[in-house]
Every structure is written in C-alpha cells, then in structure tokens.
Amino acid sequence: MPLVKIWARKPRTAEDLSTMGDCVHKALVATANVPAKDRFQILEAIEPAMLVADPTYADCDRSPDQVIVEITLNSGRTLEVKKALYGDIVRRLGETLNVRSDDVLVSLVEVTKENWSFGKGIATYG
Amino acid sequence: MPLVKIWARKPRTAEDLSTMGDCVHKALVATANVPAKDRFQILEAIEPAMLVADPTYADCDRSPDQVIVEITLNSGRTLEVKKALYGDIVRRLGETLNVRSDDVLVSLVEVTKENWSFGKGIATYG
Amino acid sequence: MPLVKIWARKPRTAEDLSTMGDCVHKALVATANVPAKDRFQILEAIEPAMLVADPTYADCDRSPDQVIVEITLNSGRTLEVKKALYGDIVRRLGETLNVRSDDVLVSLVEVTKENWSFGKGIATYG
C-alpha cells in the first residue's frame, strides 16, 4: 500500500536510487507493518539544481547528497511508529550508501484504505 | 479538479502516455462526476528500473508493462464510485493499449475543495 | 515544512524553474507563515505533451506556458490564507517571468505535522 517516491541529485545513479528504494522498503516492513511484498516505488536521480533544499533548516547541515522521500500510505500509524520509520530509513541509508542523517527528508501523505487499487480494477482493501 | 500523474516504463512512448491520460480522464468523467474539461495531468515514461512494482502483491501477476496512476481529487467520493473508477480505468487501458488489468495501480489522494486554484490566483471552488 | 513540486513545459529552462521556485517560496513565507529557511522543492521542465492542461476549464484561457504547482503542507491554513497564497504566487510569477495568471494551477495537499522528518531521522514537529 505505500507508494514511495525518492529523489536524489546526480551523480547519484540509478543503482544508488534502487538501493535507496531497498532501504526505505525494508524500513517500512520493519517498523510500519508493511507486507514484504507490498513494494511500489518511483525513483529519480535529477539535475542538482532541480532539487532545492535549504542548507540548515531544522538544525541540519545539509550537503549536495540530499535525499527526499515521499511516502503515500494508509493513515493510522501512531507517532511512535512514524518516529521509528524515520529513524530506520536514515539508519539504513547511512549504512548502505553513507547518506548523512541530516540529508534525509521524509514526507508522509496519509490516505484511506479505500483509495488503493493494486490491480484487476478493484479496491484492494475496500 | 483532479490532478492526475501517470508513470509507465519505457518503451512506452509519449504517445502511449497521452493515450493513458485519455483513458484515465474518460474514466473520471464517466464514473466520478468530473467535468469533461477538467483535465490536468503530468505524464512520464521512465527508465524501467526507476519504476519498482512487486511482481505478485495483492494476488496480481505483474509484467514490465506496469502503470502507476496517482489522482489528487476532492474528497467525498463513495467506495462505490471509487470501485467504478478503478474498474473503468482498467477497462479503458486494456481496450486501447492492451494494458493488462494486473498491471494497473491506482492511488487516490483526497483533498478539500479549498485546496485548488486553477488560474487567476483565486480559490476556484472556495 | 512545505514540500513544493513545480512542473512547466520546455522551453522553460532550469533557470526559469529556479525562479518559479523562488516565487512560490516567497509567497509561502509572505502569506502562509512558512519560515524563510523552510524551502524544499522538486522542479521539472518537461516535454510539452507530457503536461496536459485543458485550455479553458474554470473560465481560464490557458497557453503553452502553463505551470503546475503542488504544495504538500501542514493542514490548518484558513481559506483566507489559501486565497492570499494563490494570489501571491500568481503575482510573483507574473512579475518575474511574465507567467499569465490563467496559466498557474496550484494544488495543496494537507498533512499532519507528525508526517515530516527534515533530517536526523526524527519527527521534526512531533
């Protein structure tokens, strides 16, 4: 059910983006009760100037290696679950690709379960 | 009022994406009470590896021809309307482009009617 | 906290898109109580056919210079604030890039403040 979008600046490569997708998915499974097979993602490595991120907002020290993650998912996760998710995404991105924790923005967009069709033209959870 | 985004993998072409846009728009008009002229879409044919879709989640058999449709629209549609919309999108994509029904993911993001400005710097439905 | 996405058709350039990003951010700061340093944006100049906009919906006269702005932000802005935001975005785009007011679509997606991590793997406003 999550639909994940990830943007990073070049020279991050398609392979790097795929690894970022792995990290975010594993974090969703580990912390937010997402099924292991429930993985749907749009990944993009974009021209550096087309990803804008303030260098210091929210007491962070951001680098050109900024990553933006948007996750559309069903509502209902608690703040504790969201906190665990943010932490686990950052941990995995750091361990696999040396993304710095200050360089990871996560934005959640919550929807209702009726709002998904994963195929066959039916409301998957309806 | 809907803002529609569609992603498909290359070798799907810009022309294919335009046809997909036609299908989704016609389905919105036919099933979800969207005005015929209310069409706004962002279309993208992307590198195959940049669109990730689990091959079997939700009892589907997905192919490389996977399509992801995200629709931002006003809240208030009933589950019946959403089901009709999912079904009609899949039917039209199948009839025009032979997209398989298992290859169509639809994600709805609902907003309030105050959240749109379609021009002139005004709240169109405010 | 806002995450802003802007799409415009080529021949709009990366530089134009950056200026559009400036305009939208300044409008958010001026009208919607967004901190000056709270700027995060994804910008894209796309092939003309990949941005679809009805030429006349909502009593507008749209040109090839159509711009689509999507802003994910915390819920709670009043209708008056949203109206001021729409007006200020259009005014600034007109003054800097001669974008016509009929060519600016703004779509707001509201979320809760728990839904943001701006770095360090923490819930920034949680």
Other residues' Cβ atoms within 10 Å of the Cβ of residue C98:
9
Q: For residue C113, what are the contacts with CB-CB under 8 A and spacing of at least 6?
A: C1, C74, C125, C126
Are the Cβ atoms of A123 and B83 closer than 8 angstroms? yes
Q: ipTM higher than 0.95?
A: yes
Put simply, whether B70 touches A (Cβ < 8 Å) is yes
CA distances from B72 to B18, C21, C48 (A): 18, 21, 21
Task: Give per-residue pLDDT as tens, B49-105.
Answer: 999 999 999 999 999 999 999 999 999 999 999 999 999 999 999 999 999 999 999
* B23 within 8 A of B92, measured Cβ to Cβ: yes
Which strand ranges, in their side-by-side order, compose the sheet holding A3-9?
B51-53, A40-46, A3-9, A67-74, A104-111, C116-117
Domain spans of chain A? 3-115
Cα–Cα separations (whole angstroms), residue C34 to A22, A34, C27:
33, 33, 9
Say if domain A3-115 classifies as CATH 3.20.20.70.
no
- Is the pTM for the entire model greater than 0.90? yes
* Cβ neighbours of C69 in A, within 8 Å: none
Over residues A85-95, the pLDDT tens digits come to 999 999 999 99
CA B93, chain centre distance (Å): 10
- Return the CA Rg of chain A: 15
User: What is the tens place of the pLDDT at every residue in C72-100?
Assistant: 999 999 999 999 999 999 999 999 999 99
- Rounded-to-integer distance, Cα A98 and Cα A80, Å: 25
Residue C61: count of CB within 10 angstroms of its CB: 10
How do residues C3-54 score in pLDDT, each as one tens digit?
999 999 999 999 999 999 999 999 999 999 999 999 999 999 999 999 999 9
Q: How long, in residues, is chain A?
A: 126
Residue A119 carries which DSSP code? S
Angle at the Cα of B95 from the Cα atoms of B92 and B99, rounded to 5 degrees = 85
Answer yes or no: do B47 and A116 touch at CB < 8 A: no
Angle at A52 (CA atoms; ends A72, A107), nearest 5 degrees? 20
Provide, as residue numbers in chain A, all residues whose Cβ is less than 8 Å from the Cβ of B101: 119-121
C72 touching chain A per CB within 8 A: yes
> How far is residue B14's CA from residue A109's CA, in Å, rounded to a whole number?
28
Q: Do B107 and A42 touch (CB under 8 A)?
A: no
- The H-or-E segment that residue B70 falls in is strand B67-74
Please give the Cα distance from B8 to C44 (Å, whole number): 18
Q: Within an 8 Å CB–CB cutoff, is residue A24 touching chain C?
A: no
Mean pLDDT over the full length of chain C: 98
